[in-house]
Amino acid sequence: MNGICAGRVAVVTGAGRGLGRTHALALAAEGAAVVVNDLGTGPGGEGGSADPAHRVAAEIRDRGGRAVAHTGDIATAEGAASLITTALDAFGRLDALVNNAGFVRDRMLVNLDQEDWDAVIRVHLRGHFLPLRQAAAYWRAEAKAGRTPDARVVNTTSGAGLSGSVGQANYAAAKAGIVGLTLVAAAELARYGVQVNAIAPAARTRMTEQVFAGSMAAPPDGTFDAMAPENVSPLVVWLCAAGSAGVTGQVLEADGGRIAVMEGWHPGPISDKGDRWTPAEAGAEVRRLLAGARAARPVYGAGGAP
């Protein structure tokens, strides 16, 4: 198949439904061979089924593309290793990794128990780290063998990770961690020909329907559906393509027809006394500095939040 990813091999985690599914289909439509990973769990990580991954892989093949299913748990070392091995065994190479798998277990902080904290951190943050580590080991070996890759990683953060979200302390913490992981990986893996970026998508999926309720409902037929997950996938495809050369260490928001480059933490107003502050002086100076600082985006779900 022709397209901007022709000849490339991509792995997409959590690709049985929602955003992952549309990413996998869009990559295949642009010529990539795709490994479709999905454990097939429920919205809160319960249960499991091989059907979603196999359905999407079959859908790609029915459209003339190349795809195989992987139904292992990528938040385990064994599952992450077999994910990368599946790509190499089926297609002989790996060019792009899209980390997308996840679920939510929303609770207000005082009601959030350790199990729900650990489960969400595990699937999002460890579920990004382990496949990334396995893919990076392969690409490093290729580079050391004189076959420097032209590789791409697309991680999935969230507005919750960038601004916070009431009732989602576990999810927001995991997604914020993914931003840090992205920045470090981009710096460390550049020498091996690997670019690493993150997207913060907003779309209608199983994970968001509970949080946003009716605000993400599909519009009438013929109207642009700003919350359709298909709107996000073109950016993912481009980030996976060779044409995105030179773009790394970035966090991009994407929803509807909007793409925003997130600029991260930069020093704002600064004061240097040249000596140690007293507590009272420090407090007064912080208040003065805050008066001249740009206000942070409000936490989702808090007063004034979008």
> How far apart are alpha carbons 227 and 231 in whole angstroms?
7
> In the annotation, is 244 catalytic?
no
Q: Residue 140 corresponds to which tokens in the numbers above? A: 């490093």
Q: Which is the catalytic residue, given 171, 192, 233, 244? A: 171
Q: Residue 154 corresponds to which tokens in the numbers above? A: 């697309």
Phi-psi region of 31 (alpha: psi -120 to 50; beta: other; left: phi over 0): left
**What is the signed CA dihedral for 44, 45, 47, 51, rounded to 10 degrees?**
110
> In the annotation, is 175 catalytic?
yes
Q: Which is the catalytic residue, given 158, 163, 233, 244? A: 158
> How far apart are alpha carbons 12 and 154 in whole angstroms?
9
The 258-262 sheet, strands edge to edge: 67-70, 33-37, 9-12, 96-98, 151-156, 194-201, 251-255, 258-262
> In the annotation, is 273 catalytic?
no
- State phi, psi for 181 to the nearest 5 degrees: -60, -40
Query: Which of 56, 22, 19, 18 has its CA nearest to residue 37?
Result: 56
| Amino acid identity for residue 191 in this structure | R
Q: Which is the catalytic residue, given 163, 175, 192, 300? A: 175
Residue that the structure tokens 């297609």 belong to: 91
Instruction: Kindly list the catalytic residues.
Output: 158, 171, 175
